[in-house]
């Protein structure tokens, strides 16, 4: 796994050896499934009502593909979806709370919903410092491929 991916995972609180090993394993599978090099990752997360952070899905991104690993913290079974941006994303919507799209605070939240022409959707959510990463995913991967 790339060092920049490890650094990002650490920045969002996913630094345990167990999590890193699971992510490495899922990354190896995703790398074999994706027809091109994976050059970015994103972890979808949200803050629960009790204030704890919940991590939903691990996303792998390449120049033309996006992949979701929903159960990335599991060490035995993985569920990985793959879609090509240009043939898949026809619309996206963002919900932004307490965030200026430049620098996130502890109260910042961003949600991104992408929809294709068949009405299939996927959602990426970010809280706190992860909002900055989600905005970079939009800038670097989604905007140019809609």
For residue range 76-129, list pLDDT tens digits in order: 777 898 888 776 777 888 999 999 988 899 999 999 998 877 777 889 999 999
Give the pair of three-digit tokens for residue 135: 């905005």
Total structural domains in the chain?
1
Q: Distance (Å, rounded) from C-alpha 75 to C-alpha 86?
A: 32
**Please, which residues bridge with residue 43 across strands?**
58
Helix (H) or strand (E) holding 132: helix 130-137
Q: Higher-confidence residue: 90 or 52?
A: 52
**Please, which residues bridge with residue 39 across strands?**
none
Range(s) of the domain holding residue 60? 3-145
* CATH number, domain containing residue 123: 2.30.29.30
State the distance between the two ends of the chain, measured CA to CA, in whole angstroms: 28
């Amino acid at each position: 796994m790339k060092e920049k991916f490890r650094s990002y995972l650490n920045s969002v609180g996913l630094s345990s050896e167990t999590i890193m090993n699971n992510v490495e394993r899922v990354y190896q599978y995703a790398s074999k499934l994706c027809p091109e090099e994976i050059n970015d990752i994103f972890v979808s997360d949200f803050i629960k009502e009790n204030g704890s952070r919940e991590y939903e899905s691990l996303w792998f991104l390449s120049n033309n593909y996006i992949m979701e690993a929903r159960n990335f913290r599991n060490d035995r079974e993985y569920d990985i979806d793959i879609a090509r941006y240009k043939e898949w994303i026809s619309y996206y919507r963002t919900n932004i709370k307490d965030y200026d799209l430049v620098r996130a605070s502890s109260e910042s939240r961003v949600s991104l919903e992408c929809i294709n022409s068949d009405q299939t959707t996927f959602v990426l959510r970010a809280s706190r410092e992860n909002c900055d990463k989600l905005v970079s995913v939009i800038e670097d991967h989604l905007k140019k491929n809609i």
